[in-house]
């Protein structure tokens, strides 16, 4: 490793100050930071208040996502790896090109975005569509705002919503039924071409709820690659809370709001709003609550703001699921609250300062 470090240092010295090769300096710096860490303070969120740097912070999130990744491969085959690789290649290239153009550092934040994005996609999605979606998400969800730490929207969700709007047929009934026997998808590339609707889509279409809650927990119902194995999602989310990477207030208030509001409206409009437990265990709610709503860049900074954010997320999710033309409301709810979070923090801080001044 010392040879590698010396080689990177020499390469950095060689290209520094040169008009053309100097643009590659952020790439070399990112490689150095990835292999050997950094002792510098992060210039922008997420801020780490202990001895973790951003690279190790992102490593913990990736560790928490591993159960969802492995379950996705088991349920939907080795093609899931191809979807993840395409996401990393095209999203990573977009980040690198912007870093070179701006002559700024390449942040490790895309290591998480590049993994979360394929996990919220259908397993049958064409690979070219994965490339288009991740480039769109990184460009319009992050880079137009100035890059990592400056974005107000979750780039993975921006790409996912773009694809669902531009190619709605792939998010309606093009859902493959998962492998459920033996080693499942670990020995096969992808499921057969049999497609089925997700439990949320079936409910939205007026069908009775036929999925039992054990199946929803274990992930044996059709859904996005990484959103169905909910036991793994819960364990990963608890892990992030225990290591202080995520704040418990957002997922707790989010899930509690969904449960309470759906309990109320299901009793009044049972045909439009699903019962609480079905709401909690279907779609991307748990994945969104633990891995996307808690994004330190796009979530509120104040404790009070986190509570308000979680409540708004729950209200938006239930209302969009029940009243809109979309079966799923999680991604729209998170983007809506992303836009409101700066205002939420401002209001909370103003109230706090006014109380302190009295």
pLDDT tens track for 5-44: 666 566 666 666 655 555 555 655 655 555 555 555 555 5
**Mean pLDDT value of segment 218-229:** 91
Q: Which of 39-43, 122-126, 221-225, 309-313 has the lowest average pLDDT?
A: 39-43
- Which value, to the nearest 10 degrees, does the dihedral of the CA atoms of residues 156, 162, 164, 166 take? -150
pTM of the model: 0.82
Coil, helix or strand at residue 105:
coil
Mean pLDDT of the chain: 84
Per residue in 266-298, pLDDT (tens digit) is 999 998 999 999 999 999 999 999 999 998 888
Q: 258: pLDDT confidence band, cut at 50, 70 and 90?
A: very high
Q: How far apart are CA 81 and CA 68, in angstroms?
A: 12
Q: How far apart are CA 219 and CA 217, in angstroms?
A: 6
| Residue 317 vs residue 189, higher pLDDT | 317
Q: How far apart are CA 168 and CA 247, in angstroms?
A: 34
Q: How far apart are CA 106 and CA 85, in angstroms?
A: 19
Neighbours of 181 (CB within 10 A): 5
Q: Which of 39-53, 86-100, 177-191, 325-339 has the lowest average pLDDT?
A: 39-53
Q: How many residues appear in the chain?
A: 358
Q: 233: pLDDT confidence band, cut at 50, 70 and 90?
A: very high
Long-range contacts formed by 129-132: CB under 8 A, 24+ apart: 129/163, 129/167, 129/170, 130/83, 130/86, 130/87, 130/90, 131/86, 131/87, 131/89, 131/90, 132/163
Q: Which of 60-69, 104-113, 132-141, 171-180 has the lowest average pLDDT?
A: 104-113
Percent of the chain residues topping a pLDDT of 90: 47
**Mean pLDDT value of segment 154-179:** 88
Check residue 354 and give its pLDDT.
77
Taking the chain, what is the end-to-end CA distance rounded to the nearest angstrom? Answer: 59
Per residue in 50-90, pLDDT (tens digit) is 445 566 778 889 999 999 999 999 999 999 999 999 999 99
Q: 48: pLDDT confidence band, cut at 50, 70 and 90?
A: very low
């Amino acid at each position: 490793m010392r040879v590698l470090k010396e080689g990177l240092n020499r390469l950095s010295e060689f290209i520094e100050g040169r008009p053309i090769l100097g643009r590659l300096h952020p790439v070399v710096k990112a490689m150095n930071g990835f292999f050997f860490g950094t002792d510098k303070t992060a210039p922008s969120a997420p801020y780490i208040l202990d001895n973790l740097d951003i690279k190790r912070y992102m490593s913990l999130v990736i560790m928490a996502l591993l159960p969802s990744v492995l379950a996705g491969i088991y349920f939907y085959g080795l093609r899931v790896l191809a979807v993840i690789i395409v996401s990393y290649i095209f999203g990573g290239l977009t980040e690198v090109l912007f870093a070179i153009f701006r002559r700024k550092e390449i942040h490790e934040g895309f290591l998480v975005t590049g993994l979360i994005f394929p996990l919220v996609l259908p397993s049958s999605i064409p690979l070219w569509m994965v490339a288009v979606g991740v480039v769109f998400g990184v460009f319009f969800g992050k880079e137009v705002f100035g890059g990592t730490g400056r974005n107000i929207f979750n780039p993975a969700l921006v790409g996912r919503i773009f694809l669902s709007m531009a190619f709605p047929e792939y998010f309606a009934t093009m859902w493959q039924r998962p492998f459920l026997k033996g080693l499942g998808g670990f020995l096969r590339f992808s499921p057969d071409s049999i497609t089925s609707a997700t439990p949320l889509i079936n409910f939205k279409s007026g069908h009775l709820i036929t999925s039992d809650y054990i199946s929803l927990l274990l992930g044996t119902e059709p859904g996005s690659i990484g959103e169905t194995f909910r036991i793994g999602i819960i364990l990963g989310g608890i892990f992030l809370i225990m290591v202080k990477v995520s704040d418990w207030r957002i997922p707790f208030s989010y899930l509690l709001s969904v449960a309470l509001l759906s309990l109320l409206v299901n009793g009044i409009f049972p045909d439009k709003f699903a019962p609480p437990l079905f709401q909690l265990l279907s779609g991307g709610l748990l994945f969104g609550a633990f891995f996307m709503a808690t994004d330190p860049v796009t979530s509120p900074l104040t404790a009070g703001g986190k509570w308000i954010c979680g409540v708004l997320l729950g209200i938006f999710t239930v209302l969009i699921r029940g009243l809109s033309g979309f079966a799923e409301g999680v991604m729209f709810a998170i983007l809506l609250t992303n836009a409101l979070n700066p205002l939420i923090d401002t209001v909370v801080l103003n109230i706090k300062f006014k109380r302190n001044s009295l």
